[in-house]
Structure 1
Amino acid sequence: MTELQKALYRHFGFRSFKKGQEEIINSVLQKQDTIAMLPTGGGKSLCYQLPGYMLEGLVLIISPLLSLMEDQVQQLKAGGEKRVAALNSMLSPNERHFILSNISRYKFLYMSPEALSSPYVLNRLKSVPVSLFVIDEAHCISEWGHDFRPDYSKLGPFRKALGQPPVLALTATATKETLLDVADVLGLEHAVRHLYSVNRPNILLAVENCADTAEKINRIAELAEKLEGPGIVYCPTRKWAEELAAELNEKTGKRTDYYHGGMDSGDRILIQQQFIHNQLDCICCTNAFGMGVNKADIRFVIHFSLPQTAEAFMQEIGRAGRDGKPSVSILLRAPGDIELQQQIIQMESLSDYDLEAILSIIKKAGTREERQLRDVLINGGVQETQARTAVHLYLQGKTSKELLQEELTRRLENKLHKMHRVSALLGRKECIREALLAYFDESYEPDGQSGQCCSSCGIDLSPYEQKGERKNMERFENWKLELDRIFGLRSAGELS
């Protein structure tokens, strides 16, 4: 047994690594900047957690979602690690102050890129040695960093301000272009790459054509009733997530709830934990749900509508079957799907009138401080995402209506192009898996041992149908008490 294997067993109780983990960890331990792509369920978290125990100093993990941070913090705490925290909106001012005042006592610290933009937070981080700068879900740099989460595009300068610690950028799905973008934003000129296949052969890929939305609803109810759960149904809008959850509760015996970004953060975490702990059979959600959710036994993922990108589709279907057991992904298509996604994408656009008003507010503000400008716009009635994007572009030199509109139009056209491309991939009569892997510059060679492939190759859903019954869930009202019951939440002060 090697020293690394001994450390693996000592800290996590595992006797062997999953594919790719050992190579990635060795790269990190050699303090090489590393870009790693492992499929969903491939054990990405271990790739920074184990080196964290073997390196001196703080491991700083940049994470995109509050629920993802909380889930990973609780996993480490459940394993006995107390030196872990997340800086997020769930903390009280006192808890936040405690963490930042005692930052030298932590081994793992999770935060969003927006938190790093606080001068006070950045200065506190400068007071301790950062042994590893981790970007979890690194594809977000490319997908979000140029759009509604511009702080992602500043991670390179943030890293420089912290003394250029080694970087580990982790993702489950990325094209060559995305990986180049990640390297460019982070300033990684000589990063080592460990890239493994995005293919999940245990997930059957099915596409079904429906006549209209009503037929889709009935089909989802039928599938949710028949298929072995638990499962996820991805919806195009928050309204559809809520309405579809109500439909499934009415038409099936499944314990169903909804999840989207418009909910209170405590409610979102509660729904996620209910799902993880088998108190819910099915979640109807927007793409806000699922990233990093530590649930290995999700048996089905259904898409109620066309996804916007192939990257998003692969991320979402990859939430099924992380335990390696047979699982199924089903996309329902109907006339009007493309038009619906076009409308959703175009809702992000701004008219010339809107841009003139935004520029007027910015120029009258008398500051070039990004947060202040963003707050001024939001207080002036501008939607937060649009305010973030407009301020970010303005400070990059897009200071006229024409320049702003030109950039926004370019981004809109790129999103529409990706949406049409994934529609074509998922609508083809030939092997769907082969087409998706080709999108990620991979070839597909069936091994004849991985079970069913896709609906184009011929499928049988009967092996995925439910066997046995699930007991009824216990209802409750107070999410704070329930969160405490589920995994014993403790305040940041537990280190004292």
Structure 2
Amino acid sequence: MTKLQQVLYQFFGFHSFKKGQEDIIRSVLSGKDTIAMLPTGGGKSLCYQLPGYMLDGMILIVSPLLSLMEDQVQQLKARGEKRAAALNSMLGRQERQFVLEHIHRYKFLYLSPEALQSSYVLEKLKSVPISLFVIDEAHCISEWGHDFRPDYSKLGQLRKTLGHPPVLALTATATKDTLHDVMNLLELHHAERHLNSVNRPNIALKVENTADTAEKIDRVIQLVENLQGPGIVYCPTRKWAEELAEEIKNKTSSRVDYYHGGMDSGDRMLIQQQFINNQLDVICCTNAFGMGVDKSDIKYVIHFYLPQTAEAFMQEIGRAGRDGKPSVSILLRAPGDFELQEQIIQMESLADGEIANVIRVLEETEERDERKLRELFMQYGITETQSRMIIHLFMQGKTSIDLIKREITYRMELKLEKMRHVAALLHRDGCLRQSLLAYFDETYEPDKGSMPCCSHCGFDLSLYEQKEERVQIAPLDGWRSELHRIFSLKTVGEPN
């Protein structure tokens, strides 16, 4: 047994690595900058957590979502690792201060790219040796990525401020353009690249045509009632997530709830934990749900509408079958789907007067905490996405209405082009898996003798239907008591 295998078993209880993990870990341990792409469910977190037990300094992980950070920290704590924390809004002021004042005691520290904008946080981080600077969901760096986060684009400069530690950039889906942006913005010109296939052969892919939205709703209800769960239904808007959950609750025996970014953070965390603990059979959600959710036995993912990008589609269907067992992805398609998603994207646009008001506020206030600015603008009806973009552009020196509008329009057109691409891809004749993988510059030849492939290649949906009655588990209590029990939120817990 090699040293790596010993550490793998000692700290994680596994006897072998998943495909691609060991090569990535060896690159990290050699001190090289590393860009790694593993499919959803491929075990990206192990690629920095295991090196953490073999390197002397801190592992600093930049992550885009609060739920993702909390989930990773709790997984570490469940394995007995007390030296893990996340700097985010779930921490009270005293708890946050405790972490920063005792920062030298932590081995794994998670934080958002926005938190790294704080000069106080940066000064504290500069006082500790950082062995590895991990950028999770690294596609967020790129304007070509499907979830562009402006603050990610500053990480290259922040890395220099922190003493230029080695970088591990991780993503599940990225095109050549996205990877090129990641390399340039992080200045990873000599990085090792470990790019594994995005293909998940255990997930069968199905596209179904319906006459209209009403027929689509009926089909979702039928699928949820018949398919073996648990499952996820992705919806285009918050309103649809809520309404579809209500329809399923009223017309099936499934335990269902909804999840979206407009909910209270405590409610979101509770719904996520109910789903993970098999106290819900299905989640109706927007794309805010799924990233980092540690649930290996999801059997199906249904897309109620056309996804906006091929990258997002691959990530979302990848929530299923992380245990390697057969699972299925079903996309329901109806006339008008493209137009609805087009309207959602175009809603990101702002009128000249709205942009002028935002610029005026930015010029008049001395506040430069971007989170507080976003909260301020959201009170005036500016969405979080719009706020992120305008603040980012303003801080870059683009302070005129014309410049900001041009940049927002460019970003919107980029999204529309990606959506046109995925719409055309999903309408092509031939193997659906082959078309999807070609988008990521991968080749694939359908094999009739292997696992079920896609609706074009043909498979029997009854293979994925319910074989036995669902096990009913008592519901959780209110979210405050449950979250205190699950996450021990009353105290941070001083690391040893």
Please report the TM-score for the alignment, with normalisation by the length of structure 1.
0.96
**1:188 alignment partner in structure 2:** 188
1:404 matched to 2:404? The reply is yes
Gaps (5+ residues) in structure 1?
none
Assess if the C-alpha contact under 8 Å between 1:255 and 1:473 holds in 2: no
Q: How many pairs are equivalent?
A: 496
SS of residue in 2 equivalent to 1:495: coil
Alignment-mate amino acid for residue 8 of structure 1: L
**2:256 alignment partner in structure 1:** 256
**2:340 alignment partner in structure 1:** 340
Q: Displacement, 1:151?
A: 1.2
Percent of aligned positions that are identical: 70
**2:116 alignment partner in structure 1:** 116
Equivalent runs, 1:132-143 vs 2, <5 Å: 132-142=132-142
Cα distance, 1:422–1:100 mapped onto 2, change above 3 Å = same
Q: Displacement, 1:373?
A: 6.0
Distance of 1:117 and 1:157 partners within structure 2: 11
Assess if the C-alpha contact under 8 Å between 1:148 and 1:386 holds in 2: no
SS of residue in 2 equivalent to 1:47: helix
Distance of 2:101 and 2:304 partners within structure 1: 47
Q: Displacement, 1:16?
A: 1.4
Equivalent runs, 1:337-486 vs 2, <5 Å: 337-365=337-365, 377=377, 382-486=382-486
Cα distance, 1:78–1:252 mapped onto 2, change above 3 Å = same
Q: Displacement, 1:421?
A: 0.6
Cα distance, 1:381–1:227 mapped onto 2, change above 3 Å = closer
Assess if the C-alpha contact under 8 Å between 1:36 and 1:194 holds in 2: yes
**1:272 alignment partner in structure 2:** 272
Gaps (5+ residues) in structure 2?
none
Q: Displacement, 1:486?
A: 4.3
Assess if the C-alpha contact under 8 Å between 1:137 and 1:172 holds in 2: yes
**1:158 alignment partner in structure 2:** 158
**1:309 alignment partner in structure 2:** 309
Alignment-mate amino acid for residue 76 of structure 1: L
Q: Displacement, 1:467?
A: 1.1
- Residues 367-411 of structure 1: CA deviation (Å, up to 9, x unaligned): 877667656655666444323211211232322222222211111
**1:34 alignment partner in structure 2:** 34
SS of residue in 1 equivalent to 2:208: strand
Distance of 2:376 and 2:238 partners within structure 1: 27
Q: CA RMSD in A?
A: 2.0
**2:294 alignment partner in structure 1:** 294
Alignment-mate amino acid for residue 318 of structure 2: G
Q: Displacement, 1:357?
A: 2.7
Distance of 2:35 and 2:106 partners within structure 1: 25
**2:226 alignment partner in structure 1:** 226
Q: Displacement, 1:470?
A: 1.7
Distance of 2:140 and 2:441 partners within structure 1: 19
- Residues 174-207 of structure 1: CA deviation (Å, up to 9, x unaligned): 1111111111221211111000000001100000
Cα distance, 1:484–1:373 mapped onto 2, change above 3 Å = closer
Distance of 2:381 and 2:221 partners within structure 1: 40
Distance of 1:319 and 1:206 partners within structure 2: 16
Cα distance, 1:398–1:101 mapped onto 2, change above 3 Å = same
Q: Displacement, 1:290?
A: 0.2
Cα distance, 1:280–1:305 mapped onto 2, change above 3 Å = same
Assess if the C-alpha contact under 8 Å between 1:113 and 1:151 holds in 2: yes
Alignment-mate amino acid for residue 432 of structure 1: L
- Residues 392-435 of structure 1: CA deviation (Å, up to 9, x unaligned): 11232322222222211111111101001101111122111000
Q: Displacement, 1:144?
A: 9.0
1:80 matched to 2:100? The reply is no
**2:322 alignment partner in structure 1:** 322
Please report the TM-score for the alignment, with normalisation by the length of structure 2.
0.96
SS of residue in 2 equivalent to 1:207: strand
Distance of 2:385 and 2:39 partners within structure 1: 30
**1:20 alignment partner in structure 2:** 20
SS of residue in 1 equivalent to 2:283: strand
Q: Displacement, 1:452?
A: 1.0
Moved more, 137-146 or 218-227: 137-146
Assess if the C-alpha contact under 8 Å between 1:134 and 1:167 holds in 2: yes
